């Protein structure tokens, strides 16, 4: 049996530095960071790029690391801030080395080790008077690079933690009155495109409360539905899109229709629908009305559909209206998504 009273091995280094773009933060970066944290008392990570990546700016990339390596579990991890006037990415390695040394001196950061997976690591470590630890330079453990990922995020998504990949997943929302085929189409699209979907959460609450809803219930519905969307975007089977059965703006409409009021928090969630979804699909009311014991009649469905059109028009949200049977509607959405 191991001697549980034996002292732990001393760390290999006092203070390690990891510097790079981390665009996006992938499993190779995670391996590098895990190795440094296991071997060093303290690890400083510095993210910089010029130009920066508009779709994933440095604060977002730092937040990915914070979420995957939380401070309560990794107290020795330090995320360095942005520094002014970084050199362009295509400047020489010598220019970048001098910049790193100058900024670190100004911050009082003096590592005794530099951890990289790159050829430039030896020279950078020498510039800083530190040792160089190279981790998986041949990309044998994690066979991917940031350049390869940026070329096709979705094809290489297995090299991203779901926390990171969810940022690149687009949401497609399906709207329509009762009995317009939203739920069926949502599931059919997810199945046909090999991805995930978020079911309508409102029915859960409606049936639980036997149809007696208050404005507070509608806020609960909107928050619950957003949570289902976020969960679907992080599910391992997600690929490129999440299809969402309704959204908060429709929930706002129902709150007014059934209670005559809506909470300010729900109105704010409805406003956010303008930018939350990449595509909005309106299911036409050309299907036969099906009564399931909870729905109103065909005439009421027409009124509901009119309110949804008004909501989209008032908010200036472009939408695709799909008609016909399920196969026809799937094909129309495919064409819009350019599948």
**Does the pLDDT value for residue 89 go beyond 80?**
yes
**Does the pLDDT value for residue 296 go beyond 80?**
no
Q: Choose the weakest-confidence range: 16-20, 280-284, 297-301.
A: 297-301
**Does the pLDDT value for residue 282 go beyond 70?**
yes
Just give the CATH number of 13-151.
3.40.50.620
Strand extents, DSSP E, 40-191: 40-47, 77-79, 113-116, 131-134, 170-175
Q: Specify the domain boundaries for CATH 3.40.50.620 within the chain.
A: 13-151
pLDDT tens per residue, range 41-63: 999 999 999 999 999 999 999 99
pLDDT tens per residue, range 162-177: 999 999 999 999 999 9
Structure tokens at 33: 């960071």
pLDDT tens per residue, range 114-148: 999 999 999 999 999 999 999 999 999 999 999 99
CA distance 79 to 74: 11
Query: pLDDT confidence of 333, banded at 50, 70, 90?
Result: very high
pTM score, two decimals? Answer: 0.89
pLDDT tens per residue, range 179-203: 899 999 999 999 999 999 999 999 8
**Does the pLDDT value for residue 204 go beyond 50?**
yes
Q: pLDDT value at position 288?
A: 72
Strand extents, DSSP E, the chain: 13-20, 40-47, 77-79, 113-116, 131-134, 170-175, 196-198, 241-245, 279-283, 320-322
Q: Specify the domain boundaries for CATH 3.40.50.300 within the chain.
A: 169-337
**Does the pLDDT value for residue 77 go beyond 80?**
yes
**Residues 6+ away with beta carbon under 8 Å from 48:** 19, 21, 58, 82, 83, 86
Q: Work out the burial of residue 266: count CB atoms within 10 Å of its CB; fewer than 13 is exposed, 13-18 middle, 19 or more buried.
A: buried
Q: Work out the burial of residue 211: count CB atoms within 10 Å of its CB; fewer than 13 is exposed, 13-18 middle, 19 or more buried.
A: exposed
**Does the pLDDT value for residue 2 go beyond 50?**
no
pLDDT tens per residue, range 212-267: 999 999 999 999 999 999 999 999 899 999 999 999 999 999 999 999 999 999 99
Just give the CATH number of 169-337.
3.40.50.300
Contact 238, 197 (CB under 8 A): no
């Amino acid at each position: 049996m191991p001697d549980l009273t034996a002292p732990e091995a001393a760390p290999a280094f006092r203070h390690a530095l990891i510097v790079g773009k981390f665009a996006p933060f992938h499993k190779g970066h995670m391996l590098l960071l895990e190795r440094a944290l296991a071997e060093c008392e303290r690890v400083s990570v510095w993210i910089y790029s010029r130009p920066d990546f508009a779709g994933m700016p440095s604060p977002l990339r730092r937040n990915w690391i914070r979420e995957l390596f939380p401070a309560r579990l990794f107290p020795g991890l330090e995320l360095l801030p942005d520094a002014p006037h970084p050199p362009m990415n295509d400047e020489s390695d010598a220019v970048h080395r001098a910049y790193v040394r100058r900024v670190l001196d100004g911050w009082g950061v003096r590592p005794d080790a530099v951890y990289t997976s790159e050829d430039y690591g030896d020279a950078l470590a020498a510039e800083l008077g530190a040792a160089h630890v190279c981790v998986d330079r041949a990309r044998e453990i994690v066979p991917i690079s940031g350049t390869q990922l940026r070329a096709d995020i979705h094809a290489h998504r297995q090299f991203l933690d779901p926390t990171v990949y969810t940022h690149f997943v687009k949401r497609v929302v399906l709207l329509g009155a009762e009995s317009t085929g939203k739920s069926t189409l949502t599931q059919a699209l997810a199945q046909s495109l090999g991805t995930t979907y978020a079911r309508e959460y409102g029915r859960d609450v409606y049936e639980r409360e036997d149809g007696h809803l208050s404005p507070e219930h509608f806020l609960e519905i909107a928050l619950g539905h957003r949570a289902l969307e976020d969960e679907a975007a992080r599910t391992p089977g997600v690929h490129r899109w999440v299809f969402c059965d309704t959204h908060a703006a429709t929930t706002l409409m129902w709150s007014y229709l059934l209670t005559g009021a809506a909470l300010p928090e729900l109105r704010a969630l409805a406003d956010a629908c303008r930018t939350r979804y990449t595509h909005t699909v309106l299911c036409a009311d050309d299907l036969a009305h099906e009564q399931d014991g909870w729905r109103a009649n065909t005439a009421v469905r027409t009124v509901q559909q009119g309110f949804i059109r008004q909501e989209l028009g008032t908010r200036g949200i472009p939408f695709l209206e799909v008609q016909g049977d399920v196969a026809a509607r799937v094909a129309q959405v495919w064409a819009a998504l350019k599948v």
